[in-house]
Amino acid sequence: MSHGYSPAWRKLTIVILRPLLFALLKRDWRGRGNVPREGGVIIAANHISEADPLALAHFVYEAGRYPVYLAKSTLFDVPFIRAVLRGTGQIPVYRDRADAALALKDAERALLDGECLMFYPEGSCTRDPELWPMTGQTGAARLALTTGAKVVPVANWGAHELMPYKKGARTGLAGRLKKGFHPFPRKTMKVIAGPPVDLSRYEGRPLTRETLRAATDDIMEAIAGLLGELRGEEPPAERYDHHRVLEERRRAAAGPAFEPKVTGTARPGTGETEAAGS
């Protein structure tokens, strides 16, 4: 079975959203030539706002590709939204499935069919108080190594000013942002795409946890470097680990008898206090 969509639905979204985005947002776009114009490709991006999917979709479309997102399966339960998502070929992700590889089968099929797959390796909007990328989840790396699709790293900056993430940290830059939707004055969406991440050293290896973790770290390092270029700052040497923060919080609440089974570290001194979700 191939990845299906309706050309009419895709054209309708372009007719409606493209002029709207041109009117609403200013643009600082770089590196569109790094997005392949054909063939299956993974766009791996940082996630700073619930508004950045549209900004990234606009960038990718103007680079010559129609963006396909992995959307929460619950969105497909709403009749009209389901019609739009199915019609444009968006892919449901069933987060309650125990087998992550099984949950990504539809995404794998789409890549083999030549789609441009938009992927947020962090899994949710960043909880880093300074809005740097967090540690990534391994789905993008798994898909790339399974299908041979290129991973193009992309960083975006500016969407947090348009619509700060409502569950963001209460400290740092995130804590200074005023919650809500702020279209005026017009915000500039900065987006940059880098060359594909070189994952050749992992080709042919068994997809062990260590291999997927190392490949994911390479992807996140490329994204963080691009974001540093947009911001004119040096990315932190150690990425924020939200899962570790939550485990440490549970450990503190449970007392000394609690022993967390986690690896990695949260970046020290962040003071992040928000609960998980997205």
CATH, residue 72? 3.40.1130.10
The answer to whether position 258 is within a domain reads: no
The answer to whether position 253 is within a domain reads: no
Nearest to 191 by CA among 77, 80, 26: 26
The answer to whether position 229 is within a domain reads: yes
Q: Provide the domain count of the chain.
A: 1
Query: One digit per residue, pLDDT tens: the chain, 278 residues?
Result: 457 899 999 999 999 999 999 999 999 999 999 999 999 999 999 999 999 999 999 999 999 999 999 888 888 899 999 999 999 999 988 766 555 555 688 899 999 999 999 999 999 999 999 999 999 999 999 999 999 999 999 999 999 999 999 999 999 999 999 999 999 999 999 999 999 999 999 999 999 999 999 999 999 999 999 999 999 999 999 999 988 887 887 888 887 655 555 444 455 444 433 333 33
pLDDT tens, residue by residue, 51-76: 999 999 999 999 999 999 988 888 88
| Rounded Cα gap, residues 196 and 152, in angstroms | 4
Nearest to 191 by CA among 233, 236, 153: 153
State the first-to-last Cα distance of the chain, in angstroms, to the nearest integer.
30
The answer to whether position 27 is within a domain reads: yes
The residue segments making up the domain with residue 194 are 7-241
| Rounded Cα gap, residues 102 and 173, in angstroms | 37
Residue 7: CB partners within 8 Å, gap ≥ 6?
none
The answer to whether position 254 is within a domain reads: no
Nearest to 22 by CA among 70, 62, 63, 51: 62
The answer to whether position 138 is within a domain reads: yes
| Rounded Cα gap, residues 192 and 82, in angstroms | 31
CB 46 within 8 A of CB 94: no
Tokens in use for 157?
């900056």
The answer to whether position 252 is within a domain reads: no
Long-range contacts for 261-267 (Cβ within 8 Å, ≥24 apart)?
Answer: 264/135, 265/238, 265/241, 266/240, 266/241, 266/242, 267/128, 267/236, 267/238, 267/239, 267/240, 267/241
pLDDT tens, residue by residue, 11-31: 999 999 999 999 999 999 999
The answer to whether position 260 is within a domain reads: no
